[in-house]
Structure 1
Amino acid sequence: MAKHNIHLAEGDILKNQYEIIQQIGSGGMSVVYLAKECKEENRLWAIKVADMEKKISKRLFSEAKILSELDHPSLPKIADFFSSPDKEFFYLVQEYVEGETLYEWFEQNDCFIDEETVVNICIQLCDVLHYLHSRKPSPIIYRDLKPANIMITKTRDIKLIDFGIARKYTENKAKDTLQIGTVGFAAPEQFEKRQSDTRTDLFSLGALMYYLLSGGKYVYITQKPIQFFRKQLPKSLKKCIHLLVKSNPNERIQTAGEVKDYLKKTQMQLAKGKNHSLKKGLLISKYVFSIFFFIGVIVYIAYDQFHK
């Protein structure tokens, strides 16, 4: 149930610059609208609106501040952020990403995505996580990696959206100010009195892979290895997921770059398996053709002898 009083209609103008087209998303305390530039109608924006009286507005301001400092092809670009004249609402204007969320795509495909596609998506996620985790002087911990926060474009590229609970890492801090995350994908330390760090996002990446390859199961709940749900996965992929979802951060793969190495190795194993299957198929086809050819010769000889 909505806990806000945000109601914008088609044709409403914000800041004399952005014209509302339609609502495209909604949460408990915020709403996202598709808008166009008043002076350049072909230029589209996604505008997230939050009630300034709600705590979400502080998170939205934090999101705007973090994203305004970033520049990566897998992150939406920030155009503007401002509050309404009466200070009642806060607006975040960002690049409109045309496509669908990974969650929507997954559901539309009956909760099945092939290994090659999952690996390709996760390699892209490794690149953007490496970018965030390598920020100086403070790494950025995303903390909410899940299918609903990953946009899939028409070219099958990804965009990581919704930095509402992202934070800058502070070394030697005992615990996070706010214990928060999405159950099913969040690392254990996000709900315990510990500090999240770059390895927290890597747990979520492993949980995401598990979810996509298991047909929508959560590693928290099943407590089964991924091969229980998807047989004959490459060894490197099974090992990668197994290590990423360790409860102890010290036992996980430690960097996004290392995860990418595992996934690149998986790509090679999948390609090798595909080539092997292709060669096997060609060999079988050749064998079957030879048999039919031989049968044809026998039939021809028998027919010729019969009519002499």
Structure 2
Amino acid sequence: MPGRLLGGRYQVQDRIGTGGMATVYRGQDEVLGRTVAIKTMLPQYANDPSFAARFKQEAQAAAALQSPYIVSVYDWGKDGDTYYIIMEYLRGTDLKSGIKKHGALDCKKVAQIGSQIAQALSVAHRHDIIHRDIKPQNIMVQPDGNIKVMDFGIARAKNSHLTQDNSVLGTAHYVSPEQTQGKELGPTTDIYSLGIVMYEAATGQVPFQGDDAISVALKQVNEQPKPPSQLNPAVDPSLESIILKCMQKNPADRFQTALELYHVLRDYLAGRMAQVNSATAVLPGSAAAVADTSKLEPGQGMAPGNTASMPRVSRTGQYRPQRATEEAAEQEEERDRKRKRNIVIGAVCGVIAAVAIVFALVNVLGSASKTYPVPNLAGKTADEAQTAITQDGHFKMGETKESYSSSVEQGKVMDQDPRASRQMPEGTTINIVISKGEEPKEQVSVPNLTNMTPKEAQEACTKVGLTAVAGDEVEDDNIEEGRIAKQDVEADSSAEKGTKVTYHISKGTSQVVIPNVVGDSEDSATTTLKNAGFEVSVQYSESSDSVGKVISTSPKNGSSATKGSTVTITVGKAPSKVSVPSVIGMTYSDAADKLKANGFYAGLASGSSSNGIVTDQSETTATKGDTIYLTTKVESSSNGGSGSNGSGTGTTGGSTNGTGGSTQQ
């Protein structure tokens, strides 16, 4: 797979991970020039037509999810028999590896991770996408500590029926009871899985262990988890209550939306314990203990809206009503002693007090006998909320406050007290909090990162409250390799505190292919090479065929050279003239041989014969390769010569080499 080009665009590079369904590679988007993660489906799933159809549907849906806590899906496709998803390339490690390496996390970190996952799920659920595979392996922890949820694209197709795949033990540790039973799933199934993720993050281990997926899944359905504090005494009761509510077997007993869970975790992180206790007040199986507020232990109390907070869980995992009962009995004995003294001191006062108490109790019980569900005001305007509160006459409009929110639109209800769906007495006052939108962040000046090392860039950005993030590498002729060549947010501009400044490291001077200019004129070749980024040097060589044209280049055309380097072109020039040796007095044949040896050709002048003696030549200087025309004269033989074909016998009638006679004139 490495080296393959998918979809004519995505270059597959090294493998960075393998799972039960797919292999993930680091790759390069050749069109946009950015690093991406390429997830390719394993062949046994890619060859299943039903899976392929679901894969396409889910990948397209996942690409529409926009959240800082969801990994971005850029593209998907099929190349041959390979299905692939193109995703945002993340740096960091998955949460599972982090827990294995560092063990249990502190409570605040667990709540922070949980709140970010809840926000990611809230976005997905609004798009009717249920993740179905929330587990630490699918949570990427980035270098800045924030998380990204992965695998929205194939989760639904992958985990429709866990019981059909006994090999997926890692997934079985996190699935909801209804998921193992093949029931219809809703947002609360992801909330259950998130509860187990927080459980593992807080304790360092999953709540249910087993030898195979089926045994673990059965425990998900039938067994209650040990309270996290039993495994890690550092887990505080409030966070424990949140986790255990997420993990209720009955979906109706969990938080009903990811947004509701996010609000509770946000309250926990902000130290608003009363609101946390109110949200987790009644857990199934402990309602009786909660309802009897006279038996609450010290430190417990009534949450807003007259609902008792969740009873504290002991380190042995058992509720402790016995101690509360004993303390209540002691208090009752003390009250009896005081009443006896009061009777002795003044019976009349006691009677009056008793009557007053009875009257008060009758009033309280009478008013509390009728309760109504609190309307859900989330996302309503202040006017809409007031109408919803007062329209039936059961509740009263209370105080309206404003607060900043990064997740709720400005002007809409972001919080309410009491919370939605709680049963409250008639006449209860409902307070609301209206979102002011995202809190404006402080503006800072962006530092100039050019020529810095990545470490220097990180320090410079951190100093002013920004985050430096590495982007793709780029070629740069002026910046040393390994140093920053450019940044996406302009230097010295203003940016909100917390903004990510992406920088690009130089790969050094770029290499350019030398264009073919052989045969071009000197001027044309020089222009072409300079436009390609080269300097040009010209040398000349004599050439009778390519005068004024480029004969060759150095380095050769088609090879690569550093941009800005010099390319030498060789241009042909007319050959220069040289002296022609004298051949006068020689026979034509000898004269021709001598001229050829000196780079010339011999030719007969008009009226001359090849059997004669050279009496004149046309040039004394000429360009090599030129033809020198020779004038010859045939001399008469004094004693007569033989016929034209006979050998010469006279001293003057024959040729100088004595091989051929001349015809007598």
TM-score normalized by structure 1? Answer: 0.73
For 2:30 and 2:182, the matched residues in 1 are separated by 48
Between 55-64 and 65-74, the greater mean CA deviation after superposition: 55-64
Contact 1:150–1:159 (CA<8 Å) still a contact in 2?
yes
Name the structure 1 match of 2:227. 225
Say yes or no: does 1:255 pair with 2:265. no
AA aligned to 2:142 is T
Say yes or no: does 1:95 pair with 2:88. yes
Name the structure 2 match of 1:15. 7
Say yes or no: does 1:44 pair with 2:35. yes
Indicate the SS of the match to 2:13. Answer: strand
Say yes or no: does 1:68 pair with 2:63. yes
Instruction: From the two aligned structures, give the one with the greater helix fraction.
Output: 1
Question: Per-residue deviation at 1:91?
Answer: 1.5
Q: How many residue pairs end up in the alignment?
A: 247
Say yes or no: does 1:53 pair with 2:43. no
Name the structure 2 match of 1:116. 108
Indicate the SS of the match to 2:270. Answer: helix
Question: Per-residue deviation at 1:152?
Answer: 0.7
For 1:269 and 1:230, the matched residues in 2 are separated by 21
Q: 1:22 to 1:225 in 2, by over 3 A?
A: same
AA aligned to 2:99 is F
Name the structure 1 match of 2:151. 162
For 2:31 and 2:160, the matched residues in 1 are separated by 41
AA aligned to 1:241 is I
Question: Per-residue deviation at 1:19?
Answer: 1.6
User: Which residue of 202, 226, 232 maps to 2:191?
Assistant: 202
AA aligned to 1:105 is G
Question: Per-residue deviation at 1:122?
Answer: 0.6
Question: Per-residue deviation at 1:56?
Answer: 5.2
Between 24-33 and 236-245, the greater mean CA deviation after superposition: 24-33
Contact 2:115–2:262 (CA<8 Å) still a contact in 1?
yes
For 1:249 and 1:28, the matched residues in 2 are separated by 28
Question: Per-residue deviation at 1:261?
Answer: 2.6
Contact 2:107–2:239 (CA<8 Å) still a contact in 1?
no
Q: 1:253 to 1:270 in 2, by over 3 A?
A: closer
For 2:92 and 2:78, the matched residues in 1 are separated by 28
Question: Per-residue deviation at 1:114?
Answer: 1.4
For 2:20 and 2:252, the matched residues in 1 are separated by 35
CA deviation map 1:156-191 (0-9, x unaligned): 111111122237xxxxxxxxx932382111100001
For 1:27 and 1:150, the matched residues in 2 are separated by 14
Question: Per-residue deviation at 1:118?
Answer: 0.9
For 1:201 and 1:28, the matched residues in 2 are separated by 20
Indicate the SS of the match to 2:67. Answer: coil
CA deviation map 1:64-104 (0-9, x unaligned): 122122222212222221211x3x11121111111111111
For 1:244 and 1:116, the matched residues in 2 are separated by 17
CA deviation map 1:203-231 (0-9, x unaligned): 11111111111211325477311111222
Name the structure 2 match of 1:5. none
Question: Per-residue deviation at 1:59?
Answer: 4.7
For 1:268 and 1:196, the matched residues in 2 are separated by 32
Name the structure 1 match of 2:178. 189
Between 158-167 and 140-149, the greater mean CA deviation after superposition: 158-167
Name the structure 2 match of 1:25. 17
AA aligned to 1:74 is Y
Q: 1:148 to 1:59 in 2, by over 3 A?
A: farther
For 1:264 and 1:234, the matched residues in 2 are separated by 16
Name the structure 2 match of 1:152. 141
User: Which residue of 123, 128, 131 maps to 2:120?
Assistant: 128
- Greater RCO, CA 8 A, separation 6+: 1
Alignment of 1:209-288 (within 5 A): 209-219=198-208, 220=220, 223-269=225-271
Q: 1:257 to 1:39 in 2, by over 3 A?
A: closer
AA aligned to 2:146 is D
5+ residue gaps, structure 2: 163-167, 209-219, 274-665
TM-score normalized by structure 2? Answer: 0.35
AA aligned to 1:26 is T
Between 196-205 and 210-219, the greater mean CA deviation after superposition: 210-219
AA aligned to 1:46 is A
Percentage of matched positions with identical amino acids: 28
Say yes or no: does 1:106 pair with 2:108. no
Question: Per-residue deviation at 1:32?
Answer: 1.2
Contact 2:18–2:24 (CA<8 Å) still a contact in 1?
yes
For 1:13 and 1:195, the matched residues in 2 are separated by 40
5+ residue gaps, structure 1: 1-7, 168-176, 272-308
Q: Which has the larger radius of gyration?
A: 2
For 2:20 and 2:256, the matched residues in 1 are separated by 34
AA aligned to 1:98 is R
CA deviation map 1:238-282 (0-9, x unaligned): 2111211110111112122221232123223499xxxxxxxxxxx
Q: 1:14 to 1:199 in 2, by over 3 A?
A: same
Contact 2:135–2:174 (CA<8 Å) still a contact in 1?
yes
Indicate the SS of the match to 1:145. Answer: coil
For 2:272 and 2:99, the matched residues in 1 are separated by 21
Name the structure 2 match of 1:281. none
Q: 1:207 to 1:29 in 2, by over 3 A?
A: closer
Contact 1:236–1:265 (CA<8 Å) still a contact in 2?
no
For 2:235 and 2:100, the matched residues in 1 are separated by 22
Coordinate RMSD, CA, aligned:
2.4
AA aligned to 1:80 is D
